[in-house]
A and B are shown apart, each in its own frame.
Chain A
Amino acid sequence: MVLLKIKFTQQRRVHLAQGLWLLSWMAVMWGAIIFCLGVYLKTELLRRDEVMDNTEIHVVPNILMMVGLASIGTNWVASRVCQDSMDATRFPRWKVLLLVWFAVAAVLCCLLIAVVVLSFALQGRLEESLKVGLRNGIRFYKDTDVPGRCFQKETIDRLQMEFRCCGNNNFKDWFEVQWVSSRYLNFTSKEVKDRIRSNVDGRYLLDGIPFSCCNPSSPRPCLLYHLTDNNAHYSYDYHSEELNVYSRGCRQALTDYYMQLMNSTGPGVLSVILIQISVLLSMRYLQTAMEGAMGLEDPEGESEGYLLEKGVKETFEDLKVNALTMLKFGQVDPNDTEGSSEAAEKDASPTPAS
């Protein structure tokens, strides 16, 4: 019972080969696009490397790049096979390679589906990584004189200005750390001494934020200090003031940005999956049709193309038996010799009767 049999005349075979050739070149182009998407995503992730704690999310662009390159190679091979398929002398040399090709193409499709699933599944991990990274960034904001952390301030400032966000969850994160370096604090001043004594760790905490949190859309010049004190500023109400600083946290802003980036690659990846599957199926039909045609006395006559020689269940069982035979290679031989001696006895016994 053959799966999805289709009759092919010579002309139909030629059309199939030509169509598959075009399709495989289109797939090469899409593979290149997927590779470029992977490179772009990786570059964007690397740019904000300093505020991420781990690189788990990098698995998505890495797979995209790998699959893109593999897809280019695989589909180029497919186009070569198509070119040779019309020539009966050159086609047989591809026979063994085609088995490998089918396996590789199937693996590529699975990897692409895995990428789509991963880009959703890793969102939680990305948020965690950003949470830890931003927390450290805010803590080390003041350490502009410590080697290895000198540029933390500039990185966080630029990040907040570019993504229009403030702090980790919101701007109050800045109230909990000392973000003004001790080098610029006058320790003889009463105000500074009071603030430092007001908490256990001896940190200079204030209800102020860095300038990079300021929202340019505010009608009022930006208020940076004494944010919780309504009396410190004229006509100011801490609870109703919305436009003064950015209300969004940077973790949310960055997560949204990366999720949007990965979602926008979704349609591209899905279309590559579809194209790859159609190349796979067409190649199978072409292979079986050409092999059928070469087996006939008249190579230009009709032949049959199919997906699987037997039904799905039977092919599966065949594959299982083949795999088991290969695994039990050593044990099969003694059984065979016993079985053959029994068969020889059985053969020997009926003959006297006849």
Chain B
Amino acid sequence: MPFMPVKFNLQKRVKLAQGLWMIYWLSVIVGILIFSLGIFFKIELRKRSEMMDNNESHLVPNLLILVGLLACGVSAFGGKVCHDSLDPVKFAKWKPMLKPYLLLCCGFNALMLLTVLLCFLMQFAVYLTLAEGLKNSIKFYKDTDTPGRCFMKRTLDMTQIEFRCCGNNNFRDWFEVQWISNRYLDMSNDLVKDRVLSNVEGKYLMDSVPFSCCNPGSPRPCIQHHLTNNSAHYDYDHRIEELNIWTRGCREALFSYFSNMMNSIGMLIIATIILESADMAGLKYLTTALETMEDPENPECESEGWLLEKSVKETFSEMLAKMKTLGASNQVEGGDAAEAAT
């Protein structure tokens, strides 16, 4: 008893072949889209790699690039088979390759499912990497004379300007590190000496933020220094002042950017899985319909197409039996040889 049989006459077969051909080419375009999204994601990760201490994981974009290429290849092959399917001579040469091809498609769908899972789960890894990386970036902001870290200041400034954020969790992260290099501090000045002596590690700490934290939308020229001192500025109350500097932290800003990207890519891959499954089902129907033609010489005859030759349960038990035979084949042969000997 075949699983989900459908009767096909010539017209239906032709329509199925044409429709399937178009869907395969749509899959090729979607494959190209996934490939380019993978490259885009990889480039974005590289751009922000300094914020993530250069140890971000490139597993997801690499997998996306692979999936995109495979989707193109698999769908192009499927489209070619569809194109040749209505010509019995050409179809005959594709026939032996169909079973391995369908198995390959199943494996490909499993790979895409894995990619979707990774897209959603790796966001946690990105969050943790960002937290660690931004903490270090803020620490090394002042080291513009240390080789390997010269551009940390510029990168962090540009990131804060672009993503409209300040600090790791919020702007107070800047109060806890020395972000002015000692080269620009007059160590003979009393004020400087007081500040340096005021903490255990001898860091020049102050309640100020870099200029890149400033919000251009503020009606007032940016107040960068003495942020917690209301009397340092005219008509200023640091508890109600909201527009002066960005209130959002860069970890949250960067994470929401990457998380949106990864979510949309995940959605696209789910749509691709559905598309590929439809492709596989269509191809199975087409090939079975062509195989079961009673009279191969007469193209107008009716035929039947199905998804599985027997019902789901029977196919499953057959597969299990096959695997058991494969596994027990050594023992069976050994038993036979022993019996033959005796």
Q: Give A residues with C-beta under 8 Å from B.
A: 144-145, 150, 153-154, 157-158, 161, 179-181, 183-186, 189, 210-212, 214, 216-217, 219-222, 224, 233-235
Contact = CB atoms under 8 A, between A and B. Distances in A.
Given A216-B158, A219-B181, A154 B216 contact: yes
B153 A219 contact: yes
B221 A184 contact: yes
Contacts of B169: none
A163 B216 CA distance: 15
Contacts of A189: 234
Interface stretch (B34-42, B182-190, B299-307, B309-317): B182-190
Given A186-B234, A211-B222, A216-B212, A235 B161 contact: no
Contacts, number: 72
B32 to A, nearest CB: 22
Interface of B: 144-145, 150, 153-154, 157-158, 161, 179-181, 183-186, 189, 210-212, 214, 216-217, 219-222, 224, 233-235
Main secondary structure of the interface of A (DSSP, over half): loop
A216 B210 CA distance: 10
Given A154-B217, A211-B222, A222-B211, A216 B234 contact: no
Nearest to B186: A234
Contacts of B219: 144-145, 150, 153, 181
A233 B183 CA distance: 12
A297 to B, nearest CB: 49
Nearest to B221: A180
Given A184-B235, A235-B184, 14 more contacts: A145-B219, A153-B219, A181-B220, A184-B234, A186-B234, A210-B221, A211-B214, A211-B224, A212-B214, A214-B211, A219-B145, A220-B183, A220-B184, A234-B184
A158 B216 contact: yes
Contact of A153 (B157, B179, B186, B216): B216
Given A144-B219, A154-B217, A221-B210, A216 B153 contact: yes
A151 B339 CA distance: 96
A186 B158 CA distance: 33
A227 to B, nearest CB: 14
A202 to B, nearest CB: 18
Residue among B158, B186, B211, B220 with the highest chain A CB neighbour number at 10 A? B211
10 contacts: A179-B221, A183-B220, A186-B234, A186-B235, A210-B222, A211-B211, A211-B214, A219-B181, A221-B179, A222-B211
Main secondary structure of the interface of B (DSSP, over half): loop
A150, A179, A183, A189 — most chain B CB neighbours (10 Å): A183
Contacts of A216: 153-154, 157-158, 161, 212
Contacts of A144: 219-220
Nearest to B141: A221
A185 B158 contact: no
Contacts of B224: 211, 224
Given A220-B184, A221-B180, A184 B212 contact: no
Nearest to A216: B157
A145 B218 CA distance: 11
Contacts of B150: 219
A159 to B, nearest CB: 10
B245 to A, nearest CB: 10
A144 B221 CA distance: 10
Nearest to A212: B216
B185 to A, nearest CB: 6
Contacts of B154: 216-217
B293 to A, nearest CB: 43
A154 B222 CA distance: 12
Max chain A Cβ within 10 angstroms of own Cβ: one of B157, B189, B233: B157
B184 A221 contact: yes
A-B pairs, 6 with minimum CB distance: A157-B216, A216-B157, A144-B219, A219-B144, A234-B186, A186-B234
A186 B235 CA distance: 8
B329 to A, nearest CB: 63
Contacts of B179: 221
Nearest to A150: B219
A309 to B, nearest CB: 52
Nearest to A185: B234
A150 B212 CA distance: 22
Contacts of B234: 184-186, 189
A183 B234 CA distance: 9
A17 to B, nearest CB: 32
A124 to B, nearest CB: 31
Contacts of A145: 219
For A153, A184, A212, A221, the residue with the greatest tally of chain B CB atoms inside 10 Å of its CB is: A221
A154 B164 CA distance: 14
Q: In this complex, which of B150, B210, B212, B216 has the most chain A Cβ atoms within 10 angstroms of its Cβ?
A: B216
Contacts of B157: 216
A134 B40 CA distance: 37
B311 to A, nearest CB: 55
Contacts of B211: 211, 214, 221-222, 224
A91 B299 CA distance: 45
A185 to B, nearest CB: 7
B54 to A, nearest CB: 20
B181 A220 contact: yes
Contacts of B158: 216
Contacts of A183: 220, 235
